Amino acid sequence: MSAPGVLDITDLRIGLQANRSVELLHGVSIRLEPGERVGLVGESGSGKSLLSLSVMGLQPPAIDIRSGSIRVAGTEVIGSTEKQLDRLRGSTMAMIYQDPMSSLNPVRSVGKQIIEEIRAHRTVSRTLARRTAIDLLGSVGVRDPQHTVDNYPHEFSGGMRQRVMIAMAISCEPALLMADEPTTALDVTTQAKIMELLSNLVDQRGMSVIFVTHDIALASSFCSRIDVMRRGEIVESGATVTMMTGPRHPYTRALLGSICTFDTDPNQPLLAGPADTATPGGAR
């Protein structure tokens, strides 16, 4: 048997508890090696968040994990108790969400939240955890961290809040980072800065990343491999260079066809997506 990857998802099937006939993920398999960055790309509703949340053991209660396996650094997530999951979350795996405002507590200072996260996983004094929080905020580019550590989430801009979320996610140096559309809510300039920050942090700390996005161009700039997801299935998986230059699946071609570049012929219509290019019979 091969050594466990940082993440091994095998033939994962997920459905709705209330309806046996509804299946949302149809046998998804993903393996992530140490230090690898994989882009999970697909349209809205394809199952990207469901997959990411399931890895963290945070799938919504209406969801039923029917079969398959999710192993994080060799530990099975499916069927783990909350206590076991808490040990994995933060220390081995962490997640950055699309909307930092809904994942930060609005009535606690960001410093307190980072300190809590650190102390939930490490036996360190409050003073040392606070110093670590200040260092972390500095390392993610939050200005004047000695003072802003005591600010509340609403006192930060959207980009700065996302930096705070990143600081919290990396606070216990997880091996696996799940980033679910971490920059979608941000303007393009802030998006570029956050992506650069993420890239540097991931390299410095040797983390493995699942980067979830509907933007294949963004995924290609950050990831060495791309898994294309559609309707609850991975329809194509491969090295970024190969996929960007020779996509095999019609859906991947449609995603690439909808990228707008400055050398696009203005007389050619933009492809709207899979509906324009779907093969007869509806290839997945």
Ligand X SMILES: Nc1ncnc2c1ncn2[C@@H]1O[C@H](COP(=O)(O)OP(=O)(O)OP(=O)(O)O)[C@@H](O)[C@H]1O
∠ CA 107-160-132 to the nearest 5 degrees?
Answer: 75
Rg (CA), the chain: 20
Q: Count the Cβ atoms, other than its own, within 10 Å of residue 190.
A: 17
Among 46, 92, 151, 183, binds ligand X (CB under 6 A): 46
Counting residues that bind ligand X (by CB under 6 A) gives 13
d(CA 193, CA 109): 24
Q: Which is nearer to Mg ion, 54 or 151 (CB)?
A: 54
45 binds ligand X (CB under 6 A): yes
Other CB atoms within a 10 A radius of the CB of residue 44 amount to 7
Could you tell me the smallest distance in angstroms from the CB atom of residue 168 to Mg ion?
A: 20
Distance CA 237, CA 229 (A): 9
Minimum distance, C-beta of residue 180 to ligand X, in the bound complex (Å): 7
SS3 96: strand
Residue 38 is classified by DSSP as E
Q: Is 89 in the site for ligand X (CB under 6 A)?
A: no
Min separation Cβ 49 and Mg ion, Å: 3
Residue 54 binds ligand X (CB under 6 A): no
Q: List contacts with Mg ion (CB under 5 A).
A: 49
Inter-helix orientation angle 158-170/126-139, to 10°: 130
Q: Please select the residue that binds ligand X; options are 37, 48, 112, 163, rule is CB under 6 A.
A: 48
CA 250, chain centre distance (Å): 25
Residue 201 binds to ligand X (criterion: CB under 6 A): no
Q: Is 42 a binder of ligand X (CB under 6 A)? A: yes
* Near ligand X by CB under 6 A: residue from 34, 58, 62, 74: 62
With CB cut-offs between 5 and 8 Å by kind, which of Mg ion, ligand X, none does residue 46 bind?
ligand X
Q: What are phi and psi of 14, to 5 degrees?
A: -130, 140
C-beta closer to ligand X: residue 60 or 74: 60
| Residues that bind ligand X in the complex, under the rule CB under 6 A | 16, 24, 42, 44-50, 60, 62, 214
